[in-house]
Each structure stands twice: as C-alpha cells, then as structure tokens.
Amino acid sequence: MLRMIFQRLIIAVPTLFVIITLAFAMIKVAPGGPFDGERALSKAVQDNLNRQYKLDRPLLEQYAHYVGGVARGDFGPSFQYRDQSVTGLIRQGLPASILVGGIALLCALGAGLGLGVWAAQRAGRLADRLVMAAAATGLALPSFVIAPLLALVFGVALRWVPVAGWGGPGNLILPVIALAVPYAASIARLTRAGVVEVSSAPFVRTARGKNISQTRLLWRHILPRALMPVVSYLGPAAAGILTGSVVIETIFQIPGIGRYFVQGALNRDFTLVMGVVIVYAALIIVFNLIVDIALQWLDPRTRGQST
Amino acid sequence: MRGVVCGAAALTAVACSGPIERPERTDKTRLVRVNFDEIRALDPHKISVVSDSNVAADQFQGLTDLGPDAKPIPGQAKAWRVSDDGLRWTFELRGGLMWSDGTPITADDFVYSFRRIINPATASPYANLLMLIEGAPEILNGAAAPDTLGVFAEGPRTVVIQLTAPQPVFPEVVAIAALVPVPKHVIDMHGDAWSRPENIVSNGAFTMQSWQRQAQMVLKKNPRFIDADTVALETLIYLPISDEMTAVRRFRAGEVDIVPTFPDQMGPVLKEQLGTQVRVTVNQATYYYVFHTQKPPFDNPAVRRALSMAVDRQPLVDSILRSGYRKALAMVPPDTGFYGAPSQPDWATWTIEERRTEAAKLLARTGITPQTPLDIEIRINTSDTHQRIALAIAQMWQPLGINVSLFNTEAAVHFADLRKGNFKLARAGWVADYNAVDNFLFIFLSDNEGLNYARYNSPRYDALVTQGQAASDTTQRMDFMRQAEAQLLADSPIIPLFYYVSKKLVASDIDGWSDNLRDRHRSRWFRFK
C-alpha cells in the first residue's frame, strides 16, 4: 500500500507538468487577449499593458517564466485583477468553495446512501420507484434552474433564508442544497444498484443461510462490495464539488474559486485559469489516490495485503 | 451560460408577479449598493470597468467632483480659471485638505498623480484621457520622461495644467475617477501593495474598512473628507453581483438598496412590481455597427450608405429592447455638452419606404439586387440581445438582395478581431468618458489606432475634428464638430443604431439620487428619507 502511494505521488509531478503545458498551449492558441474588451484601448495603452505583463515576449520565454514561477509556488499576477497574485486569489477563494462543497458533499453522501439502501431493500416496490423517480428528477434538473427557484421560494417569497450573500450560516443553506441535489441523486442511484446487485450474489445467499442478522449482513457483507462504484464516483466528484460550481457561486454570490475558471477563461486571465487548473488537477490526483486506497480496503480480496 | 441562467431565472420571476413590499429599514446610515461585478482594481489609476470606477469615485476625489446631476462642481479645488487661449487651466486647492491618514494634501500630490497615470510603467487603462495635456503622447509612448508632463505646482495650493488644445469641459474631465490623486507617501512605503485594503489611504467621502473579495466591500465615512459634514451615510457596502437576476431578487427581498442594471426583458414586469423604484434614463452611449472601410464591398461608400439607410431603427428599440432606448441616426447622442441639435444624415426625414427605395437603387448601381445577391457576415459578441438585433436587421436587408449570416464569438475574440481588422461588418459600442462631442468623434480619426475599428480615413473629417478641437470659441468648436459628424454620416463607416439607457433599481426611501445622462452617482449624495 505504501509503495503504491509513493509511486503515485512520484508520477503526480510529471502528470501536473504535462497538464500545465497542455493548458498553457490551449490558452495561448485561443484568440483574443486579456485587454480586449467592450471598451477599446488606444494602441499605446494596449502596448504598455502587454509590456507590463510580459505578453510582448516570445511564447517560449513566457512559458519558461510561468513554469519557473509555478515551481517556486508563484502562480503569477492576475491579468484582470490588477496588483493581485493568482496565489492570493485562490488562497482567498478556496476556503469558501471547500466549505460549501464539503458540506454539500457530506449532505449528498448522507442522503444518497440512506435513500439508496432504503430503496434497494424495497426493490421493485412503490417506495423504490418513488425514490428512483426523485433521483432521476434531481439528476435531470440543472442547477441553474434549481438554484434560482430555491432563492425565489425560500428567499423572496417566504423570507426564511437570505436570497444570496456570504457571511452567516443562513447563507449556506440554499447553495448547499442546490449543489448537493444532483450528487445525492447520483449516489442514491449507484448505491441502490450496487446493493441490489450484491444482494443476489451467491456469497450473500450463503450468508443468509447461516442466519446472520439483517443489519450485520448489510454492513459487513453487502455494503463494502456494493459501495465500490460509489467510491469510484466520489473521487472526481469530490474534486469537482470542492473546487466550486460557477453557477451556484454566481447565483448565491459565494466568494469561491468556481467562477474564476469560467470568468478567467472568458476574460483571458491566463494566469488565473492556469492557477485554477493546477489546483483542480492536484485535487483530482489526490482524490483518485484516496479512492484507490479506499477500494483496496473495501475489496475483501485485497484487504489486508501489504502491497 | 449566463444567458441561460438569466432566461431560466426570468421565467421564474415572471411567475410571481404583483407589487412587492420591501421590509422596513432599521439602519438609516447604512446603504447597500450592488456593483456589476467584482472590482478589478482598487488603485484608481489602474481601474478599467464601471464597477472599479464606482468604488474609486467614492473613495477618492479629484480636482473637481460630480454633483448628483453629474455636472462638475468643486472637489479638492475650490475654483479654477482658464487662460484666454483655453490652454492653461489653473486650479486653486481648498485649505485643510487631508488624506484619510491625516497627511496634508498639496499641489505636489496632484502633479505626482498625473505623472503616474501617464507613466508607461503604470500601464493605466485610462491614460489616454490625459492625451490633451502637453507632453502626454510622448511620455505614454516612452519617448519622454513623465516629469516632462505639462502639469505644475505653483506653490502648495495651486495646480496648473497646460493643454495642447482647448477643452471646454476640462473641469469635467478631471472629475473622472481614473484621474484622482493618489497618496505618494503610501505608495513610496508599500509599492504596488499600497492599494491593498490594509494599506490604502484615500481622500474621498468614504474609506476602506474591509473587503472580502467576491463577497462584500465595506466602506466607512471618511471623517477627514473635506466635505465630511455633508455626507449622511456612515457605512457603504458594495456587493459584487454579476448575475443580474440575483441582484433583482436581493432587491425584492430588501437585502440591497441600489441595483445597477437588470435584464431588458424584465423591464415591464419590474415596473409593475416595483413602480418608481425602477429608474430608466438615457445615457451618453451609442450602439452601432461598424464597416471595415478598406475591405470590399464596404470600401464603397454607396454600399455602406444604402445599408445604413435601409435599417428601420424604431422596431429595434420598441420591440426588441423595450426598456426605453432611443433610436440613433447619428454617432453623438442628443444633449451632449454644448452640441445642441446633432447632425443627422440627409435621409433622416425620409419615410422608411423612401429610404428602402433609394437603398435598392444605390445597391443596384453596384450590381447588388435580389437576383444577384450579396452574402455578408455580421459579427457579434455573444449576447441574446445582439443576436436578436442582428436577425432583425438581416430581415430588413433581405429584400435588397443582402443575405446575412451571423458570426458569434465571445467578447475577448470579438474585440480582438475588431482591433486587428478581422471583420467586414460588426457590432460595437461606445460609452462617453465625459460629456463632450469630441469624446465620440475622436474615435474615427484616421490615426486612432485601436479605436477606429472602421479604418475610416477621411482627410476632411480629420481636419474638421482637429480644427474643432483647436477652437477655443465654443460656438465655432461645435460648428466644426457638426460638420465633421455630417461628413462621417455621409461616408457611413458606421451604422448608428440606438443610444443606450441605464436601468437601475433604487430603493424608494433614498434621497439624493438624480437620474443623469452620464450615469454617474456618487454615494456621498445619498441619504435615507
């Protein structure tokens, strides 16, 4: 196990390097620059800005300069937010994204697992169909529909919670729900499918024959195997949910980094986009590693082995 | 993406109509103002968008300031005079001026600040506003040192600015938020980090209290502001809300007091729900189509003229935009400083049928008829409104033998293409920096690289604008400008379509709000009833 972790961490460095290089190339291929906008700038002003941000230098020099900075932990200056470093912007925004995303992930896990198991135990009956229909709806409804609806009903009409904003615990309620719904729906579906499938496996029938209690059967024998698809799903899902959603952050005005990716790309804020890409890639690598460790632990065939 | 968000949200908003009551106000010294988006710079010399400018204008004050009606009034200077030739402006500073940290403000602070704006190392997006000051063009191009700029201190309380051409509205120019003074002593200490919330020192009605990026900015009344006794608000909060519908919902819930814009299609519903809290005012800003005048077929003025003539503007503002926009037949909006009645094209009074007939004749002469049609592409930047306008225009042109296709790109690509000349016909817009005709007409000067997307090159136009700019007599100046615009309209490098409006939501208990052409609203004027 330790060797696997070590190997994966060693591979992570060139992986990140390749991602940085590809992302840099893609950003530079895209037409338009950070200072092209509705308000036109005179050529002299445009030239001065390009010089200031070294955009007048050859591409290779820009690339070397950027990679050198990243190696030192410096993601460079933002092109849109003057006098701000990308590292600083991400450091300020990431905690908000992680807070909302983390709570949403926990809620999604609780609701998804609970409903999935509950439905699986009633497979084929009305309760199961209702839960699965609800899950399908949750998956199908895009967050840009759920989010404004929630704000309108609970914020404007009922005045139970703030419409949007940041600061109090009340501000977390709507974005967490809007963010958690599709994830909870996915988890419920995966859990139900897993539990139903494993429940009919020969080893479970054998266990049933041995008169083991229902609870013990579920927790010790069915769930560890049934949850493997859920765990695989959680790796990229966690990285996605923790780095923020542009829709949720925009509608509920959450000061996270989710919107930096889309806004940064639209504004050609090269360094900001690169910074978010690196954070996202690093999280994906970490969570995929955690998932692999969890899968090894869950799978009775590999559990307890030292490799 | 944002369009989808807006569309879905608008639907849900329409679903619950009827008048909306906002909750009772508890704190009458605290105002919450929404900004279009998170600001991009706190350093006033590096601001680039309207949101930045709102905050800078509340934190800083220039030689002059803008009243509630956006007319120039004394700011840090109590009075000013101009020499007979209109070139030398002398500003007398008020006594007792102080930065928010208590350091006195002198004329040297202004000299330092103007030099800093024009210094290429600052890379100020608004540096070109100083181009009419002696020495500015050479400094901006790196050919001269910043201390050669024609701005001088004559003693501690007198600032002298030497222009190369008269500018009757110069007192309004120096009120612009990008041209305010900045504290040299703080910049010397912190460098570029001087504008961080923990370091920033200002001289305006409000000072920085705290800023959580993308969440909220809290400004406090500045007790050292020269007119502090006239400022009613103790706390001013700026919320960056880029989603227009989120801002509208928060206004309806009573969480915010001023919203800077709302989606066009929401106008009628909001009017019904919010009544007089919906404020729509015409603006000094023009929406136009621009031809690449060096590329066929638009190198032929007759083709450009025919296409401009054949666009019926009224249905665009009535049926597509709906929120009170005005149609435009000329580049300069009505009521622009000293201009009086703007120039109009010779066909302005014709009926649309007459215009279409003449347009068909003009096009037929160049071989374009419904039987031998011309394929053209209109370039727009991604937006539902731009698209609907382009489609409507395409329909108006179709009977003339013009087959239109749309080419839609995001803003960064669109405007880069306009700058580089990768287009034949495209959508563009201009918002005036200050209330002057030349701030519209300078765009089409042949040497205005970067802004003259049309590559319009008319020696007569250049001469008229330059003569106008050189004239110190206002009547004479306006006469030249009117002739210049007439020339522009005759050559038709652009199709002016309509003048923008500003669309605001302003809480009904706010006093001191005044709708104005310039769409400038300093928070120092606001108080609650």
Asked whether the beta carbons of residue A156 and residue B16 sit closer than 8 angstroms, the reply is yes
CB contacts, 8 Å: B416 with chain A: 31-33, 36
> Which residues, numbered 223 to 252 in chain A, qualify as contacts with chain B under a Cβ-Cβ cut-off of 8 Å?
246-247, 249-252
Taking CA atoms, what residue in B is nearest to A39? B430
pTM for the predicted model, two decimal places: 0.89
Examine the pLDDT at A218 and tell me if it is beyond 90: no
Mutation choice for A interface testing from B4, B5, B440 by most A CBs within 10 A: B5
Q: Express each pLDDT in B346-359 by its tens digit.
A: 999 999 999 999 99
pLDDT tier at A2 (50, 70, 90 boundaries)? confident
What is the reported pLDDT for B7?
44
How confident is the prediction along chain B (529 residues), in pLDDT tens digits per residue?
A: 444 444 444 444 444 445 567 777 889 999 999 999 899 999 999 999 999 999 999 999 999 999 999 999 999 999 999 999 999 999 999 999 999 999 999 999 999 999 999 999 999 999 999 999 999 999 999 999 999 999 999 999 999 999 999 999 999 999 999 999 999 999 999 999 999 999 999 999 999 999 998 899 999 999 999 999 999 999 999 999 988 998 999 999 899 999 999 988 888 889 999 999 999 998 999 999 999 999 999 999 999 999 999 999 999 999 888 888 999 999 999 889 888 877 899 999 999 999 999 999 999 999 999 999 999 999 999 999 999 999 999 999 999 999 999 999 999 999 999 999 999 999 999 999 999 999 999 999 999 988 999 999 999 999 999 999 999 899 999 999 999 999 999 999 999 999 999 999 999 999 999 999 999 999 999 999 9
For residue B94, the distance in angstroms to the closest alpha carbon of chain A comes to 32
Place of tokens 């999280």: A283
Nearest-CA distance B230 → chain A (Å): 31
Q: Chain B residue closest to A34 (CA)?
A: B412
Q: How far is B255 from chain A (nearest CA, A)?
A: 8
A266–B246 C-beta distance less than 8 A: no
What is the reported pLDDT for B26?
85
CB nearest A163 (choices: B5, B121, B250): B250
Distance to chain A for B354, nearest Cα, Å = 35
- Beta carbons of B415 and A49 less than 8 Å apart: no
Residues 5-24 of A with CB under 8 A from B: none
pLDDT of residue A302: 63
What residues of chain A lie within 8 A of the CB of B448, using their CB?
42
In chain B, whose CA is at the least distance from the CA of A265?
B412
DSSP label at residue B495: E
CA angle B310, B312, B315 (to 5 degrees): 155
Which of B172, B185, B247, B235 lies closest to B209, judged by CA? B235
How far A15 CA lies from chain B's nearest CA (Å)?
30
Contact call for B415 and A93, based on CB within 8 A: no
CB contact set of B64 (below 8 Å; sequence gap of 6+): B72, B73, B74, B75, B77, B80, B91, B171, B172, B174, B175
Exposure string over A16-51, b if 16+ CB within 10 A, otherwise e:
beebbeebbeebeeeebbbbbbebbbbbbbbbbbbe
Nearest Cα of chain A lies from the Cα of B156 at a distance, in angstroms, of 31
Count the Cβ atoms, other than its own, within 10 Å of residue A297: 14
pLDDT for B486 = 96
**Taking the mean position of all CA atoms in its chain, how far away is CA B366?**
38
Contacts of B443 in chain A (CB under 8 A): 40
B432-491 per-position pLDDT tens digit: 999 999 999 999 999 998 899 999 999 999 999 999 999 989 999 999 999 999 999 999
| Interchain pair A250, B419: CB under 8 A | no
Residue A307 has pLDDT above 80, yes or no: no
Query: Are the beta carbons of B255 and A81 separated by less than 8 Å?
Result: no
A152 contacts B13? CB cut-off 8 A: yes
Which pLDDT belongs to residue B8? Answer: 45
Question: Which tokens sit at A59?
Answer: 């591409």
pLDDT at A84 over 60: yes
- Sort out which chain B residues have CB atoms less than 8 A from A38's CB and list them: 381, 411, 415, 429
Contacts of B1 in chain A (CB under 8 A): 246-247, 262
Residues of chain A contacting residue B241, judged by C-beta atoms under 8 Å apart: 164, 253
Nearest CA in chain B to A46: B125
Q: Inspect the interface and report whether the beta carbons of B5 and A251 lie closer than 8 Å.
A: yes
- Rounded to the nearest angstrom, the minimum Cα separation between A175 and chain B is 13
Give the residue from B8, B412, B54 showing the smallest Cα distance to B244.
B8
Cβ-based neighbour number of residue B350 at 10 Å: 14
Lowest mean pLDDT segment, chosen from A35-39, A269-273, B290-294, B345-349? A35-39
Q: How far is A171 from chain B (nearest CA, A)?
A: 11
**ipTM of this complex prediction, to 2 decimal places:** 0.86
Burial degree of A10 (CB within 10 A; 0-12, 13-18, 19+): exposed
pLDDT the model gives residue A300:
65
* B454-459 own/partner pairs: CB under 8 Å, 24+ apart: B454/B290, B454/B291, B454/B292, B454/B293, B454/B493, B454/B494, B455/B292, B455/B293, B455/B294, B455/B421, B456/B293, B456/B488, B456/B491, B456/B493, B457/B293, B458/B487, B458/B488, B458/B491
Mean pLDDT of A163-183: 92
Query: Does residue B478 contact residue B340 with C-beta atoms inside 8 Å?
Result: yes
